[in-house]
Structure 1
Amino acid sequence: MYPSYRPRLNQLAASTQSFEERRRVFLHDRFGALHLLQPVLDGNADAFLTCANDGLLQRRWAREHGVGLKGAPEDILLAQIEHHRTEVFYNLDPVAFPSSFVRRLPGCVRKTLCWRAAPSGNADLTAYGAVVGNFTSILSAWRTKGCRAEWFSPAIDPAMSEYVRDERPIDVLFVGGYSWHHSARARTLEKVAALAGSRNVVYCLDSSRLTRLAESSIGYLLPLKQHRRPRIVAGIAKTAVFGRDLYELIGRSKIVLNGAIDMAGQDRGNMRCFEAMGCGALLVSDAGRYPAGMQEGVTIETYGTPEQAVEVISRSLQDWPRSAEIAARGRALIRDIYSKDVQWKQFCDLVGRI
C-alpha cells in the first residue's frame, strides 16, 4: 500500500472497527486490483489477503487473534500466515519482506513468489522461489543476482467496466509518480502541459518526498533545484488519485498520457497502460517493447520524444472518432488477453513449475 494512499483508506474506512471491515473497504476501492488474484477478489476462503504495511489493519488482526502488539510488523504477518496455514505465499512488497523474512516462514508454506518491477536497491530476494514481473529486462537483472525470475502479468479489473463512458470531457489525463526515477517522463509532462491553454489537461501527481521538500520554503534554501517541478507543470498539478477515483477520472478522459520509469529500458506495460485501456481511454505512451495486445496505431498510440508526444496527442484529438475506435479496440482486446481468469490460470501454472 502506497503511503500516499493510506489517508484515502483511513477516510473511507473511518467508521470500521474490525480487520475484516477495513479490508472489505480496501478491496471495494480496488487499489492494486490489477495485481490481486481472482480468489481474493471472489472472497474465496482459501485465499487470505493482508496489507502488511498498513499498521492499523495489522494491529486489528493481532488484537482479534490474541497476538502481542510489541513485536515487529513481520511477526504479525508470520502469525497470519501460520493461522491461515498458507501453502503459497505471494508477496507484492518484497523489498520490505526480503529473503531474511522468507527464511522465517512456517513449515506450511511450500511455494514462495514475489512481484517486483521497480527500483529495488540492494534488496536480497534470492530465497523466494521466483521473482515475477512483466518487464523482461528487470527479470534478467534479478537472474544476475541469483534469483529465479518468471514473466507474469497484471490483469484487467472487472470493475473497470463500470467506468467506460462515451462522454469524456477531459482531453488529456496524466496520473502518476514524479521523482528522480521519472526524468524522461518529466520532460514529456512539461511539453504536454503547454496544451493546457487550448485543451482540458489534468495532471494528478504523486510527488516524491524530495520533490515536496524542494518546493517547500525550506527547500528553496537548499541545492534541490533539479527536484522541483517546472512551473508549467506545477501550475496545473493536482494531488494524486487512487482506487475508484482513478477509474472515474480515466473514464472521463479521452487520452491517458503515460511514460515508463527510467530503469525499464525498452520494456513497456506499467500499470497505467492496463488501467487506461481497461477504462476505455486512448493510451498515448512512449515507444518501446509492449506486451501482446498493445500495438501502436492499432490499440494504442506512441511517441518517441516529448515533442512527438504533443504532436500525437494533438492529432488524436483532432480526429477523435478514429482515436475513439482505437481505444475501443484496445479495451476489447486486452480485456480478453489479460482477464482475471487468464491471470489465475497463469499463476497456477507458474506455481506448478517452481
Structure 2
Amino acid sequence: MRLFQNSCFYASYLPRLNMLAAKTVSFDGRRAVALNDRFGAAHILKPVLDGSPAAFFTNGDDEVLQRRWAREQGMSGEPTLEAILLAQIEHHATEVFYNLDPVRYPSAFVAKLPGCVKTTVCWRAAPSGNADFTAYGAVLGNFPSILDMWRRKGCRGEPFFPAHDPVMDEYGHGERTIDVVFVGGYSRHHRARARTLERVAHLADTYDVAFCLDASRLTRLAESAIGRLLPLRQHRRPDAVAAIARPPVFGRDLYELIGSSRIVLNGAIDMSGEDRGNMRCFEAMGCGALLVSDAGRYLEGMQDGVTIETYDTAEQAAEVISQSLQDWPRSAEIAALGRARIREIYSKDAQWKAFGNLIGRL
C-alpha cells in the first residue's frame, strides 16, 4: 500500500515549530522536526512514524514546509498549497490518501486527485458546517453520534481510533510536582468546560493547579486593553481562571507536563453530545496521569473508577479531584492501570492493522 497521509497544525503551534526547526532548510528536515515533536502523533500511522519508503507524510497547511518541497522539486512560480499537495500525491504515486484536514481539502479536492489514487479516507470527529466530504470513500472518527451525522449527510462513516504514541512511555516516571493540569481550548464552543474550569480553578488555594489555555481570538481581544472598552464581557475568562492561566503547550512539552502532573482535567466540547474519548484522554492516560473527565459514553479501556474518574457537574469535578488527591495511593493505581490499558488496546500496531482492514472493506 502506497500511503499518503496529510495532516495539519493549530495556528498556535506554528511558533513552536518555527523555533524548533529554525536551523533546518529542507522539506525533509522541517518534517522530521515536526514528527519528532510528536504533535498529533496519536493520529499518525505506523508506516509514517517508522519511516517506510511506501508512506509519505506532510502537513498541507504548513506553507513554509510545502513551499520548500515545491522549490526542491522545481515547481515554477508561486503554486497554491492545493497545487503543491496534488503534485506531492502524484509524485509519490499514492494509492491510499488519508486526510486529517478535510475541511481545507474537501470533496472538491478529491475530484482533482490523480488517477493513481484508488482509495480516499478522511478523519473528522466534529461537526463542520456545510463542508462536503461525500467524495471520500469514508469519513473516520471515534464518536458514534458524529459518524451518524456524517452518514445523514451522505457520507460513509467508519469507526477508527487514535493510538498510544510509544514515545509517551518515556514520560511520567519521576516525581509528579503538579497536582492538577488542564490543557486545551477556551472559546464559545466550550461553555460547559468553562464552568468546570472556573470551579476547579478555586482549588488553587489548596493545590498546585495549572491551566494551559489556547484562548480564542475573541477571548484574547476581550482581555486586552482595547477589548475592555468593547461589549465582549462574555468572552473574558473569570478572574480565578485568568489568575492561573499559562500559555498553551504542545508536542513533547505537553508529554513532559502531563508526566509531571498527578491529575489531568478533561472536558468535552459542547458539540460532542454524550460521546467521550478525545485526544486529551489518550495523552493523559498514555503519560500516566489520572484522567478526571466528564461523564458520558467512553471508549473501551476508559472505565469510571477503574482506569479513569468522571464527574457530572462542575461542582462534582472539584470534589472528585480533591478526593483523588487526598487518596493518592488509590488514584495512582487507577492511573497506572489506565496507562497499561491504553498501551495494550490502542497500540500503533493495532491501529495500522485496523486501518488496513478498513481500506480492504472500501
Normalised to the residue count of structure 1, the TM-score between the two structures is 0.99
Say if 1:62 and 1:69, in contact at 8 Å, map to a contact too. Answer: no
Number of the residue aligned with 1:291: 299
Number of the residue aligned with 2:250: 242
Say if 2:268 and 2:276, in contact at 8 Å, map to a contact too. Answer: yes
The offset of 1:221, in angstroms, is 2.2
Number of the residue aligned with 2:195: 187
Of the three residues 46, 54, 68, the one matched with 1:60 is 68
Amino acid at match of 2:320: V
Of the three residues 26, 40, 43, the one matched with 1:35 is 43
Amino acid at match of 2:227: G
Number of the residue aligned with 2:280: 272
CA distance change for structure 1 residues 218 and 69 in 2, over 3 Å: closer, same or farther? Answer: farther
- 1:153-192 paired onto structure 2 within 5 Å: 153-192=161-200
Of the three residues 112, 124, 132, the one matched with 2:140 is 132
Of the three residues 333, 337, 340, the one matched with 1:325 is 333
Identity across the alignment (%): 72
The offset of 1:166, in angstroms, is 4.4
Query: Relative to structure 2, which stretch is displaced further, 251-260 or 70-79?
Result: 70-79
The offset of 1:312, in angstroms, is 0.2
Number of the residue aligned with 1:225: 233
The offset of 1:334, in angstroms, is 1.2
The offset of 1:69, in angstroms, is 4.3
Query: Relative to structure 2, which stretch is displaced further, 118-127 or 95-104?
Result: 118-127
- CA–CA separation in structure 2 for the residues paired with 1:17 and 1:96: 26
1:197 and 2:205 matched: yes
- CA–CA separation in structure 1 for the residues paired with 2:174 and 2:323: 19
Number of the residue aligned with 1:334: 342
The offset of 1:213, in angstroms, is 1.3
The RMSD of aligned alpha carbons is: 0.7
Amino acid at match of 1:183: R
Q: Which runs of 5+ in 1 are unaligned?
A: none
- CA–CA separation in structure 2 for the residues paired with 1:270 and 1:291: 10
Q: Which runs of 5+ in 2 are unaligned?
A: 1-8
The offset of 1:257, in angstroms, is 0.2
Say if 1:175 and 1:240, in contact at 8 Å, map to a contact too. Answer: yes
Say if 2:127 and 2:146, in contact at 8 Å, map to a contact too. Answer: no
Amino acid at match of 1:44: S
Of the three residues 51, 55, 77, the one matched with 2:59 is 51
What per-residue deviation string (whole Å, max 9, x for no partner) do you get for residues 143-187 of structure 1? 111110100000000000000224101000000011111110000
Number of the residue aligned with 1:304: 312
Number of the residue aligned with 1:142: 150
Number of the residue aligned with 2:3: none
Say if 2:93 and 2:116, in contact at 8 Å, map to a contact too. Answer: yes
The offset of 1:211, in angstroms, is 1.1
- CA–CA separation in structure 2 for the residues paired with 1:148 and 1:221: 48
| Partner SS, residue 42 of structure 2 | coil
| Partner SS, residue 299 of structure 2 | coil
Say if 1:59 and 1:69, in contact at 8 Å, map to a contact too. Answer: no
